[in-house]
Structure 1
Amino acid sequence: MSQLVLHSYLNGKFYRGNSPLLKVNDLGLYRAYAVFDYLRSYNKTLFRVENYAERFLFSASEMHIHNPVLKTELVEILHQLNRLTNLPNIGIRLLLTGGYTKDGITPDKSNLIISSEMFQPLVNEQYQKGVKIITENFIRYQPHIKTNNYAHVIKLRKEKKMNDVYDVLYCYRGKVLETSRNNIFIINGNTLVTPQKNILHGVTRKVVLELAQNKFTVEEREISKKELLEAEEVFLTGTTKKVLPVTNINNQLFSKGKIGNKTKELLKLFDSYIQEYK
Structure 2
Amino acid sequence: MNTVYLNNQFIPSNEAKISPMDRGFLFGEGIYEVIPCYEGKFIGLQPHLDRLYNGLKSLGIPSPFSNDKWTELCQKLVTLNNEANVAVYIHVTRGSSPIRNHAYPKDTIPTVFAFTFEIPTQPVPDKHSATAYKVSSQQDLRWKRCQIKSTSLLGNVMHFQHGINEGNKETILFNELDQLTEASSSNVFIVKHNIIMTPPLDNQILPGVTRHILLAILKEHSKFTIEERAISYKEVLNADEVWLTSSTKEIAPVVKIDNDMISSGEIGDIWLEAQRLFSQYKYQY
TM-score (norm: length of structure 1) = 0.90
**Are residues 1:80 and 2:82 paired?**
no
Q: What amino acid is aligned across from residue 202 of structure 1 in structure 2?
A: G
Distance 2:15 2:150 in 1: 21
Judge which range, 52-61 or 122-131, deviates more: 122-131
Q: What amino acid is aligned across from residue 109 of structure 1 in structure 2?
A: I
When residues 179 and 126 of structure 1 are mapped into structure 2, their CA distance, relative to the original with a 3 A threshold, is farther
Q: Secondary structure at the match of 1:255?
A: coil
When residues 174 and 189 of structure 1 are mapped into structure 2, their CA distance, relative to the original with a 3 A threshold, is same
Distance 2:210 2:129 in 1: 16
Q: Secondary structure at the match of 1:84?
A: helix
Alpha-carbon distance, 1:19 to partner: 5.2
Given candidates 257, 261, 266, the residue that maps to 2:269 is: 261
Distance 2:269 2:49 in 1: 34
Distance 1:58 1:126 in 2: 39
Distance 1:179 1:122 in 2: 21
When residues 157 and 209 of structure 1 are mapped into structure 2, their CA distance, relative to the original with a 3 A threshold, is closer
Q: Secondary structure at the match of 1:116?
A: strand
When residues 129 and 65 of structure 1 are mapped into structure 2, their CA distance, relative to the original with a 3 A threshold, is closer
Say if 1:121 and 1:240, in contact at 8 Å, map to a contact too.
no
Distance 2:58 2:210 in 1: 21
Q: Percent of pairs identical after alignment?
A: 25
Q: Secondary structure at the match of 1:145?
A: coil
Given candidates 174, 180, 191, the residue that maps to 2:178 is: 174
Distance 2:49 2:226 in 1: 26
1:165 maps to 168
Alpha-carbon distance, 1:129 to partner: 5.7
Given candidates 80, 88, 95, the residue that maps to 2:91 is: 95
Distance 1:77 1:204 in 2: 22
Q: What amino acid is aligned across from residue 81 of structure 1 in structure 2?
A: L
Distance 1:19 1:35 in 2: 22
1:112 maps to 112
Where does structure 1 differ by over 6 angstroms across 4 or more consecutive aligned residues? 122-126
Judge which range, 243-252 or 81-90, deviates more: 81-90
Alpha-carbon distance, 1:13 to partner: 2.2
Distance 2:198 2:93 in 1: 31
Distance 1:125 1:104 in 2: 52
Distance 1:219 1:157 in 2: 27
Structure 1 gap segments, 5+ residues each: none
Distance 1:203 1:128 in 2: 21
Say if 2:85 and 2:121, in contact at 8 Å, map to a contact too.
no
Alpha-carbon distance, 1:131 to partner: 1.0
1:26 maps to 22
**Are residues 1:184 and 2:188 paired?**
yes
Paired positions, count:
273
1:57 maps to 53
